[in-house]
């Protein structure tokens, strides 16, 4: 390795397509936890124009030791506290563009410690979000009425997506001109075959999506049951159906994370067979 090459591979740098093999090796250390970052890398080849953001890497002696996704979401990847502080220092050289910081709790904490004075106050912080995985068939019978959504379902599906997002995140995704972006996202998930629903008499009674997927793992998001149908077992059977479809068609391991205070959701995921493998944290602006 030449001296100039070594210098380019030391410290914090913006990663590009030539860094993709190194980055995939890094995410492969914890492929389920790092599924979001790996999905973004594989779908964009680390091309900043396609990322609509950047992925920063921290090199030590020419070896990629940590990374950070910087777009709408700031997501640490395999960060020690020192790595997190290095990425935070770089983030402080530019205006905040991210709307969430999310990842393993032990990696988000040092980021927020460095960023909170300049980027705070946060709209909300959720420090205890159990991250759960399932690598075997679900332990409850899948709901045969849950199927992949189609473009023809969009009109009935979209209001349920808005209701779920507003209830879970605490803001309306259509606020401040966000409707076109959110509608596009819902259509994208349908097109990918990552949107699932049970629809009765023209109404969505259960729905969930795959947020992202890699050859190793698929993460479920947006689990929602119509309020008047809650407590009837639709969530467990519906999630089981999504798990079954994911493991058959998308990836061998299925993951999700929930808020520690959402006891009904956690009981549902436990019934299906999910087991906690870590703790996530989310800082929302």
Which residue segments constitute the domains of the chain, with CATH numbers given?
3-121 (3.40.630), 147-277 (3.40.630.30)
Q: What is the pLDDT along the chain (285 residues), one digit of tens a residue?
A: 333 344 345 589 999 999 999 999 999 999 999 999 999 999 999 998 999 999 999 999 889 999 999 999 999 999 999 999 999 999 999 999 999 999 999 999 999 999 999 998 999 999 999 999 999 999 999 999 999 999 999 999 999 999 999 999 999 999 989 999 999 999 999 999 999 999 999 999 999 999 999 999 999 999 999 999 999 999 999 999 999 999 999 999 999 999 999 999 999 999 999 999 999 999 999
Q: Which two tokens stand for residue 252?
A: 């061998």
Give yes or no for a contact between 37 and 27, defined as CB atoms under 8 angstroms apart.
yes
pTM, rounded to two decimals = 0.92
Give which of 40, 1, 45, 37 is closest to 19, Cα–Cα.
45
Residue 170: CB atoms within 10 Å: 10
Q: Which two tokens stand for residue 181?
A: 């972006």
* C-alpha span between 95 and 239 (Å, rounded): 39
pLDDT in tens, 99-113: 999 999 999 999 999
User: What per-residue confidence (pLDDT) applies to 182?
Assistant: 96
* C-alpha span between 230 and 211 (Å, rounded): 23
Contacts by residues 225-230 (CB-CB < 8 Å, ≥ 24 positions apart) = 226/160, 229/205, 230/264
Backbone angles phi, psi at 145, to 5 degrees: -85, -10
């Amino acid at each position: 390795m030449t001296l100039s090459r070594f210098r380019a591979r030391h410290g914090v740098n913006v990663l590009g397509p030539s860094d993709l093999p190194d980055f995939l090796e890094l995410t492969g250390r914890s492929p389920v936890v790092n599924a979001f970052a790996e999905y973004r890398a594989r779908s964009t080849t680390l091309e900043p124009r396609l990322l609509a953001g950047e992925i920063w890497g921290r090199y030590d002696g020419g070896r990629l030791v940590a990374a950070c996704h910087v777009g709408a979401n700031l997501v640490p990847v395999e960060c020690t506290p020192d790595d997190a502080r290095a990425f935070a220092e770089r983030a402080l050289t530019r205006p905040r563009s991210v709307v969430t910081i999310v990842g393993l709790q032990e990696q988000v904490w040092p980021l927020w410690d460095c960023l909170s004075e300049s980027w705070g106050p946060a709209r909300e912080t959720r420090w205890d979000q159990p991250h759960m995985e399932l690598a075997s068939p679900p332990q409850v019978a899948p709901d045969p009425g849950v199927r992949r959504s189609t473009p023809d379902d969009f009109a009935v599906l979209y209001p349920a997506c808005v209701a779920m997002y507003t209830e879970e995140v605490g803001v309306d995704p259509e606020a401040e001109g966000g409707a076109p972006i959110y509608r596009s996202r819902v259509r994208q998930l349908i097109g990918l075959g990552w949107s699932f629903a049970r629809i009765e008499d023209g109404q969505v009674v259960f729905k969930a999506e795959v947020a992202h997927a890699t050859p190793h793992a698929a993460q479920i998001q947006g689990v929602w049951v119509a309020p008047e149908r809650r407590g009837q077992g639709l969530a467990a059977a519906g999630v089981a159906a999504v798990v079954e479809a994911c493991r058959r068609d998308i990836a061998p391991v299925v993951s999700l994370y929930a808020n520690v205070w959402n006891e009904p959701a956690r009981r549902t995921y436990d019934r299906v067979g999910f087991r906690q493998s870590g703790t996530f944290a989310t800082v929302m602006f």
